[in-house]
Structure 1
Amino acid sequence: MPFTHRSEASRTAILTAARRLLAERGYQGATIRAVAAEAGIDPSMVMRYYGNKDGLFAAAVDLDLRLPDPTDWPRAEVGARLARHVVAGWEHGAVVVLLRSAGTNKAAAEALRNVLDGQLEGFVARLVGPGPPARRRAGLLAGQLLGVALCRHVLELDAVAAMDGDALAATLAPVVQHYLFGEL
């Protein structure tokens, strides 16, 4: 049992270090050696658990938005509830890693697309029904939310980065509501 516990602790330390360095430096700047040093382990252990840098990256950006089921929510509250959920979820390191890396790394762009196509589109489809309208609404919503996340966490624009999370969610809520239910 102690070996299993050590293995899990090592994996956790590696992923924590990888997420921090990937968010700070992007895919190109985060090396296996730097991740290992940050985690306090030998680089061979990173390779043992993840095979290579691409395997480590894939594990570090495995992102579940944990979107709740909105079908029982009052329609007038959906935008505000989703905005609060998303803003709170941005603190997860994988979102920043994907944003920082998606422009230069095909795997990151694909991972981000898969999250948005699979999770966000599914959320929207539960509200408006499946098909092209849900896909369009989810795409526009993703553009809005990712743009704000980019400004807040990667570009660190003062006006957006300095906002309290609750205030930011409240500001986004009407836009989110429009993309979900408004005339497009």
Structure 2
Amino acid sequence: MTAPEQDGPGARRTRSRQAILAAARELFSTHGYEQTTVRAVAHRAGVDPALVMKYFGSKEGLFDAVSEIGLSFGGALSGPPEQLGERLLAHVLADIDGRPDRSMPVLRSMLTHPQAAEAVRCAVADPGNSPLADALTGEDVELRATLVGTVVLGLLVSRYLLRVPEVDEAPAEQLTALLGPCLRPLLTTDPAPGPLAALTAAETERRAAAARVDRLAREALAAGASYADLGHLLGITRQAARKRWPRPEPTPATTQVVTHS
């Protein structure tokens, strides 16, 4: 293939389009949707503004071409349930760090541009189409999945937009290790106790109740109640009550032996 063929109209269009996209990603990431203009993107890309409009139709079309928010949790759902929080955070942080030019325009613009706000809302909570909600068990799965997304979004805002120093400077592994367990109550539910565990709990309760009945019965006898009274209250015979709570035998009096000389 000759050099002129390599630099034909198709190759020039591809280079121009790539230059426009690169400029748009940088400016939308830095300044957000409202502060970025088609003219500024064209100037950064070294092309005419009309060419931007020709390829993308509008500033919104250009924004849509360079933006997406990566809160998809699907790739992190497999594995031990008790480590799901750590896997979700590691997945999202790796995705943002791996391609910030795709995620930052949306994050930067979500409070000023409806399209960006809708993209973030769908990433955090997409009713009926949430792999995370589908993976959860128990009650309120959609709400719990949404709360997880909300916590993750707060982390991203703190780390990538506000640049909170401690969060911005911490390694992703440290953030994952510290915050992951905090998501566990939202991601897991305590399994229902099995029959043996339930039986053990019931027996423990029974013994505690029996000990309390014994204590109160002895207190009632000491206060002057009769075995007939106890039997009547507890539905047992007087003899059974006497057998269960016998009165202490009186201490025999000490006999003094006197000897005569």
TM-score (norm 1): 0.84
Q: Which residue of 1 aligns with 2:81?
A: 75
Question: 1: distance between equivalents of 2:71 and 2:176?
Answer: 16
From 140, 143, 168, give the equivalent of 1:136: 143
* 1:124-145 per-position Cα deviation (integer Å, ceiling 9, x unaligned): 1231169x82321222112111
Q: Which residue of 2 aligns with 1:146?
A: 153
Question: 2: distance between equivalents of 1:119 and 1:69?
Answer: 19
Q: Which runs of 5+ in 2 are unaligned?
A: 1-5, 191-261
| Residue 61, structure 1, aligned to residue 100, structure 2 | no
Taking structure 1 as reference, are residues 107 and 181 closer, same or farther at Cα in structure 2, changes over 3 Å only? Answer: same
Question: 1: distance between equivalents of 2:101 and 2:17?
Answer: 16
Question: 2: distance between equivalents of 1:123 and 1:83?
Answer: 15
Displacement after TM superposition at 1:152 (Å) = 0.9
Question: 2: distance between equivalents of 1:94 and 1:43?
Answer: 22
SS at structure 2 position matched to 1:90 = helix
Q: Which residue of 2 aligns with 1:162?
A: 169
Q: Which residue of 1 aligns with 2:92?
A: 86
Displacement after TM superposition at 1:55 (Å) = 0.8
Displacement after TM superposition at 1:84 (Å) = 0.6
What is the identity, as a one-letter code, of the residue corresponding to 2:79? W
SS at structure 1 position matched to 2:68 = coil
Percent identity between the two aligned chains: 34
Question: 1: distance between equivalents of 2:187 and 2:105?
Answer: 27
Question: 1: distance between equivalents of 2:107 and 2:128?
Answer: 16
Taking structure 1 as reference, are residues 104 and 182 closer, same or farther at Cα in structure 2, changes over 3 Å only? Answer: farther
| Residue 13, structure 1, aligned to residue 24, structure 2 | no
Mark the structure with the bigger radius of gyration: 2
Taking structure 1 as reference, are residues 49 and 162 closer, same or farther at Cα in structure 2, changes over 3 Å only? Answer: same
Taking structure 1 as reference, are residues 156 and 70 closer, same or farther at Cα in structure 2, changes over 3 Å only? Answer: closer
- Number of positions where the alignment pairs a residue of Structure 1 with one of Structure 2: 182
Give the number of the structure whose residues are more often helix, by fraction.
1
Q: Is the 8 A contact 2:96 2:103 kept in 1?
A: yes
From 187, 210, 222, give the equivalent of 1:180: 187
Question: 1: distance between equivalents of 2:119 and 2:35?
Answer: 19
Instruction: Work out which structure has the larger RCO, using CA pairs closer than 8 Å and 6 or more positions apart in sequence.
Output: 1
